Structure 1
């Protein structure tokens, strides 16, 4: 399991998280992966590209599990 630390931010958008962690090469690829139903947030399918992730949220994508801290 990977951990993403928000630092002083309130949230990070889902598409930006995938890009920042290097799970998608570009923002466009991240948006496409989300739209195609490849991402789960807190166990549920998430289709909102700009879903706001906050501390405690869990993201699953292509075998990666990320917890927002």
Structure 2
């Protein structure tokens, strides 16, 4: 499992996917979230602008990251 150090209160889901280099661009990030391919704390979540915070775990395409 990878870790991502949060600078600030939160990061939006689609921004996190881009920062982790799990997607090539913002449109792809939005698409994978809309298609239900991303898990947030173990559950599929379709909110593109979801505020991911410290302690959360995001999974996509065999990758997993914990926010610290």
Give yes or no for TM over 0.5.
yes
Structure 2 residue aligned with 1:45: 44
Matched positions, count: 68
Question: Mind listing any 5+ residue stretches in structure 2 that lack a counterpart?
Answer: none
Question: Mind listing any 5+ residue stretches in structure 1 that lack a counterpart?
Answer: none
Q: CA RMSD in A?
A: 0.5
Which aligned segments of 4 or more residues in structure 1 are displaced greater than 6 angstroms? none
How far apart are the structure 2 equivalents of 1:58 and 1:66? 6
Is 1:32 paired with 2:31?
Answer: yes
Deviations 1:7-47 (A, max 9, x none): 3x100000000001110000110000000000000011110
How far apart are the structure 2 equivalents of 1:34 and 1:4? 19
How far apart are the structure 1 equivalents of 2:39 and 2:60? 7
- Which TM-score applies when normalising by structure 1? 0.96
